[in-house]
């Protein structure tokens, strides 16, 4: 929840009518973010892995946003299974996600991420051999899926700063739509 001071500060900003339209480039999402000091970012996640972030669970999507249903339908076509949980993760310009394997007791065998806003580097490091690592650029509009051996055998992190293939990635706010499959429910005979 944003503080009263932050909400008051936002009211001083001019209202932007229809800032993005269907068909706009994914990179244009970055223009929608306010400066960091207009948000209340948490300094650290309960497990210490995420720094400077806001997050929320999504139980339903708005039905009155033009084009959203089409985009979500395309995205759902990528899901390896349909029983899912979704949350939004907003990183501050200097926010980051440290190396970790997502809680295996909280979700199933795959994770799908949609990247919006600033481009960052996704680093995957083998849990048994840190020298086996892969860096992947996450540009705005990109989608990635981690499943099975990558889900369980590699730590993933989102770097705040780094170079990849001659390109510098140096922070900036980003919003990730994270979708995970739910753990199968156990039926107790009775």
Cα 11 from Cα 133, distance rounded (Å): 45
Asked, for residue 190, whether it belongs to a domain, the answer is: no
pLDDT band at 125 (very low <50, low <70, confident <90, very high): very high
Cα 2 from Cα 39, distance rounded (Å): 7
pLDDT in tens, 42-99: 998 777 899 999 999 999 999 888 888 888 899 999 999 889 999 999 999 999 999 9
The pLDDT, as a whole number, for residue 51 is 96
The pLDDT, as a whole number, for residue 1 is 62
Q: Is the pLDDT of residue 26 over 60?
A: no
The pLDDT, as a whole number, for residue 31 is 80
Cα 95 from Cα 173, distance rounded (Å): 8
Greatest Cα pair distance, the chain, in angstroms, is 61
Q: What's the rounded mean pLDDT across residues 100-110?
A: 90
Instruction: Calculate the CA 34 to chain-centre distance.
Output: 18
In whole angstroms, how far apart are CA 98 and each of 105, 113, 135, 158? 19, 16, 14, 7
Q: How many domains does the chain have?
A: 1
CATH number of the domain that residue 29 is part of = 2.60.120.590
Cα 122 from Cα 138, distance rounded (Å): 6
Asked, for residue 134, whether it belongs to a domain, the answer is: yes
The pLDDT, as a whole number, for residue 14 is 65
Asked, for residue 94, whether it belongs to a domain, the answer is: yes
The pLDDT, as a whole number, for residue 120 is 97
pLDDT band at 2 (very low <50, low <70, confident <90, very high): confident
Asked, for residue 187, whether it belongs to a domain, the answer is: no
Beta strands in the chain (DSSP E): 42-44, 50-58, 84-100, 110-117, 120-126, 133-138, 143-147, 154-159, 161-164, 167-170, 174-181
Cα 102 from Cα 94, distance rounded (Å): 22
% of residues, the chain, pLDDT over 90:
63
Asked, for residue 107, whether it belongs to a domain, the answer is: yes
Residue with tokens 């000091």: 37
Domain that holds residue 115: 4-181
Dihedral of CA atoms 140, 66, 89, 166 in degrees, nearest 10, equals 0
Cα 184 from Cα 62, distance rounded (Å): 27
Interstrand relation of 50-58 and 84-100 (parallel, antiparallel or unpaired): antiparallel
pLDDT band at 184 (very low <50, low <70, confident <90, very high): confident
Asked, for residue 151, whether it belongs to a domain, the answer is: yes
- Average pLDDT over the chain, rounded to whole? 87
């Amino acid at each position: 929840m944003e503080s009263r001071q932050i909400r008051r500060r936002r009211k001083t900003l001019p209202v932007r009518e229809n800032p993005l339209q269907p068909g706009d480039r994914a990179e244009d999402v970055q223009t929608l973010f306010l400066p960091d000091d207009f948000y209340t970012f948490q300094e650290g996640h309960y497990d210490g892995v995420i720094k400077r972030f806001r997050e929320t669970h999504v139980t339903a999507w708005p039905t009155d946003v033009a084009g959203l249903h089409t985009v979500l339908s395309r995205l759902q076509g990528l899901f390896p299974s349909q029983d899912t949980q979704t949350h939004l993760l907003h990183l501050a310009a200097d926010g980051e996600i440290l190396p970790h394997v997502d809680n295996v007791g909280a979700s199933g065998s795959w994770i799908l991420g949609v990247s919006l806003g600033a481009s960052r580097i996704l680093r995957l490091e083998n849990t048994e051999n840190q020298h086996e690592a892969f860096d992947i650029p996450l540009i705005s509009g990109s989608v990635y899926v981690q499943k099975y051996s990558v889900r369980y055998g590699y730590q993933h992190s989102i770097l705040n700063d780094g170079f990849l293939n001659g390109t510098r990635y140096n922070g900036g706010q980003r919003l990730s739509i994270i979708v995970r499959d739910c753990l199968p429910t156990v039926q107790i005979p009775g």
